A and B are shown apart, each in its own frame.
Chain A
Amino acid sequence: MLTAATLAILVTMALALVRALAGPSTYDRIAAVNMFGTKTVLLIAVLAFLSGRTDLLDIALVYALINFIGVIAALKLVTHGNFHSADSAVNDTDKEVTE
């Protein structure tokens, strides 16, 4: 059962990799990386049960968190074109209001 799950996850990883390589638009690639990260989390979780080392689940949790942060950063860059953190958006809205 776990073997079948592993195989399915590996196939999905391959498909996500294809989309990341081929993806014509930027958002295709971001979605592919996000999906790849999710599949890595799942693969590590399945590996933890395959090898009986449940402490690997902590790493899966860390990956999930980091994947989220990376995707947010990439989307913020694509949308705003810069990284002046949260205050840039606030400043922009302020300027719009004052103008």
Chain B
Amino acid sequence: MIDVLIDITLLAFLAITSIAILRMTNLFATVMLYGIFSLLSAGLFVVMDAPDVAFTEAAVGAGISTVLMLATLALVKRPQRPFYEEAPRTHRAWLPLVVVVVTGSALIYGTWDIPGFGAADAPAQTHVARYYIDNAMPETGVPNVVTAVLASYRGFDTLGEVTVIFTAAVAVLLLIGGRRSVKADKSKTQEKQDEA
């Protein structure tokens, strides 16, 4: 009973936050609301018995993403005015609204065929899930089935993902990292010296 109440309340908060993010033109406030959105969805994941997903959502969604978006905001802010000022509203968008409503209706229509949450006859439960539940512990020795699938059965897949992320991080650091900020500092100090 209380679970249902928490579900409904958190979902209502989620909807309110999403609409507020859409309507807000203040970028700083939007990032703050993203943080709230992330905390809310992580709370929902906890209520739906997915603590590992909630862990990831908390670390990535609420933690790293907020810091990264704030860092982006600090880099792209306009020099003249503060970055947290309201931007003027420029246009009305009826066509995008119609497209979104039609697409959303199609997607909601599609969800009618999805089996219920945690249903025993769902395809996800009937094929390989039984095998993993029966054999994960004796085959891999990992007590958590999700961890066993990610780190052992799909170990090479995870290794590939990690390689991709590492390569992307190295490329980004090579392109925009390190040396540029040193140069900027140098030019600033040179300007100061010139002025002096």
| Residue numbers in A under 8 Å from B66 (CB-CB) | 70, 73-74
Closest A residue to B188 by beta carbon equals A95
Docked-complex contact A32 and B32, CB < 8 angstroms:
yes
Among the listed A17, A37, A78, which residue makes an inter-chain contact with B62, where contact means beta carbons less than 8 Å apart?
A37
Within the complex, the shortest CB–CB distance from B12 to chain A, in Å, comes to: 9
Docked-complex contact B58 and A33, CB < 8 angstroms:
no
Docked-complex contact A66 and B2, CB < 8 angstroms:
no
Residues of A57-84 contacting chain B, CB below 8 A? 58-59, 62-63, 66-67, 69-70, 73-74, 77-78, 81-84
Chain A 21-43: CB-based contact to B (< 8 A → 1; otherwise 0):
10100100110110011001001
Docked-complex contact B16 and A43, CB < 8 angstroms:
no
Among the listed A10, A53, A58, A99, which residue makes an inter-chain contact with B6, where contact means beta carbons less than 8 Å apart?
A10
| Residue numbers in B under 8 Å from A7 (CB-CB) | 5
Given contacts A14-B13, A73-B66, A59 and B46 within 8 Å (CB-CB): yes
Stretch from B47-55, B96-104, B124-132 at the A interface = B47-55
Docked-complex contact A66 and B6, CB < 8 angstroms:
no
Count chain A residues whose beta carbon lies closer than 8 angstroms to a beta carbon of B: 46
B181 in the interface, Cβ–Cβ < 8 Å?
yes
Q: How far is the CA of A20 from the CA of B24 in the complex (A)?
A: 12
Within the complex, the shortest CB–CB distance from A7 to chain B, in Å, comes to: 8
**Chain A contact residues, majority secondary structure:** helix
| Residue numbers in B under 8 Å from A29 (CB-CB) | 28-29, 32
B25 in the interface, Cβ–Cβ < 8 Å?
no
Docked-complex contact A36 and B29, CB < 8 angstroms:
no
Docked-complex contact A17 and B84, CB < 8 angstroms:
no
Closest A residue to B60 by beta carbon equals A66
Q: How far is the CA of A23 from the CA of B185 in the complex (A)?
A: 36
Docked-complex contact A47 and B73, CB < 8 angstroms:
no
Within the complex, the shortest CB–CB distance from B86 to chain A, in Å, comes to: 11
Q: How far is the CA of A2 from the CA of B40 in the complex (A)?
A: 20
B169 in the interface, Cβ–Cβ < 8 Å?
no
For the complex of A and B, the 8 pairs showing the least CB-CB separation, nearest first, are A66-B63, A73-B67, A40-B39, A29-B32, A70-B66, A83-B71, A77-B70, A33-B32
Q: List 25 A-B contacts (CB under 8 A).
A: A6-B2, A6-B6, A7-B5, A10-B5, A13-B9, A17-B16, A17-B17, A20-B32, A20-B33, A26-B84, A32-B32, A33-B35, A33-B36, A37-B35, A40-B42, A40-B43, A53-B51, A55-B51, A63-B58, A70-B62, A73-B70, A77-B71, A78-B28, A82-B74, A99-B192
